[in-house]
Amino acid sequence: MMKQLTLTRPDDWHLHVRDGAVLKDVVPHTAERFGRAIIMPNLQPPCCTVDDAVHYRQRILEAVPEGVQFEPQMVLYARDNMTADDIYAAADSNIVRAVKLYPAGATTNSDSGVTDIRNIDQALAAMQEVGMPLLVHGEVTDADIDVFDREAMFIERILKPTVERFPELKVVFEHITTAQAAEFVQGADDRIAATMTVQHLLLNRNAIFEGGLRPHHYCLPVLKRERHREALLAAATSGNPRFFLGTDSAPHPQGKKESACGCAGIYTAFAGIEFYAEIFEQAGALDKLEAFASFNGPRFYGLPVNEESITLVREPWTIPDSFAFGDNERLVPLRAGETLQWRLQGSASE
């Protein structure tokens, strides 16, 4: 049995760190492990302009521990009024990497998202021209569509027509949850990729109802059936370079999760790479982890891979029940109080 695993430093291509007082509690978890992270722009108000991104990036950098090298990769939140000029400005900024499409109402802080993708056609044309990727939250929002079918429906109704209308547009299908999504990406050309989260590779929808209602297993897109988890795992470990790591770590205060109307999001950044090591090992595919975590993302984004490496050691440890979260709140992580098999060497939690 392998005791130690050294990897090129990985990146997280889908991450929520929020803003303000909580940054100091969550950013160090990511920065200790990952060289870069794609920072989701669904703040309130959203991060929509280059100016917003410059300032948000600065606040994130201030929360990075001394001596740690971490580069936030900023993303603009698309709204109906996004123009081609917004894209040219983003491309010139050198700090904005991508644009995020939230269908209005699809998830946390998506109220000002795009109401019809055709409203941003000019921006999409400009993105295609400058090679800036579109990151999509792939769910339709129609109330009459079953919540478990929303991703599959998005592929047919929105994604396929859009990639046909923009044949060179780079697209990352974010946090995919279904066999249909994995198949779509496998059958698409090189400009289409997908990120996969810890929770969708590790859990199926039974986890939401295991012995009672489990708010800390609720995220969007919602967990799906076991056969979908198996399809995702097969895709992640297949060696296909268009699948890569994106935790979608999404911290919320404990009180907002454990509530009559609990919000969506699972916190995994504190062990972002350790969870994937466990998942890949259980699938007998540890040898595929490095490409998934450290090579495929930069390749898709046209960036160099990280130069340093990290080492994971097989040393079971107990995940805390909660972490500090801003001045008065607590943050409950995935698998709180339970055991993880891999530990990051040299981490603050060691």
Give me the residues that bind ligand NCD (CB under 6 A), please: 16, 42, 107-108, 137, 219-220, 248, 250, 264-265
Q: Which residues bind Zn ion (CB under 5 A)?
A: 248
The minimum distance between CB 197 and Zn ion, in angstroms, equals 8
Pick from Zn ion, ligand NCD, none: which does 57 bind, CB < 5 to 8 A by kind?
none
Closer residue to ligand NCD, CB minimum distance, 8 or 178: 178
Among 226, 231, 232, 230, residue whose Cα is nearest residue 248? 232
The minimum distance between CB 16 and ligand NCD, in angstroms, equals 5
Residue 248 a catalytic site member: yes
Please, which residues have CB within 8 angstroms of residue 58's CB and are 6 or more apart in sequence? none
251 and 265 in contact (C-beta within 8 Å)? yes
192 and 171 in contact (C-beta within 8 Å)? yes
User: What phi and psi, each to the nearest 5 degrees, are found at residue 92?
Assistant: -75, -20
Closer residue to Zn ion, CB minimum distance, 12 or 248: 248
Pick from ligand NCD, Zn ion, none: which does 108 bind, CB < 5 to 8 A by kind?
ligand NCD
Closer residue to ligand NCD, CB minimum distance, 28 or 265: 265
Pick from Zn ion, ligand NCD, none: which does 137 bind, CB < 5 to 8 A by kind?
ligand NCD
Closer residue to ligand NCD, CB minimum distance, 132 or 223: 223
**Side-chain half-sphere CA neighbours of 167 within 13 A:** 0
Catalytic residue among 11, 25, 86, 248: 248
User: What phi and psi, each to the nearest 5 degrees, are found at residue 136?
Assistant: -115, 135
Pick from ligand NCD, Zn ion, none: which does 42 bind, CB < 5 to 8 A by kind?
ligand NCD
**What's the helix, strand, coil split of the chain in %, to 5?**
40, 20, 40
The minimum distance between CB 218 and ligand NCD, in angstroms, equals 7
The minimum distance between CB 137 and ligand NCD, in angstroms, equals 5
Closer residue to Zn ion, CB minimum distance, 264 or 305: 264
The structure tokens 């466990």 sit at 278
Strands 309-318 and 323-325: what pairing? unpaired
Count CB atoms within 10 A of the CB of residue 324.
15
The minimum distance between CB 63 and Zn ion, in angstroms, equals 19
The minimum distance between CB 102 and ligand NCD, in angstroms, equals 8
Count CB atoms within 10 A of the CB of residue 142.
11
Angle, helices 50-62 vs 23-33, to 10°: value is: 80
Pick from Zn ion, ligand NCD, none: which does 150 bind, CB < 5 to 8 A by kind?
none
Token code pair at residue 246: 């994106």
Buried b (16+ CB within 10 A) or exposed e, 157-178: ebbeebbeebeebbbbbbbbbb
Pick from ligand NCD, Zn ion, none: which does 264 bind, CB < 5 to 8 A by kind?
ligand NCD
Strands 4-8 and 309-318: what pairing? antiparallel
Count CB atoms within 10 A of the CB of residue 311.
12
Token code pair at residue 11: 């990146």
Catalytic residues: 248
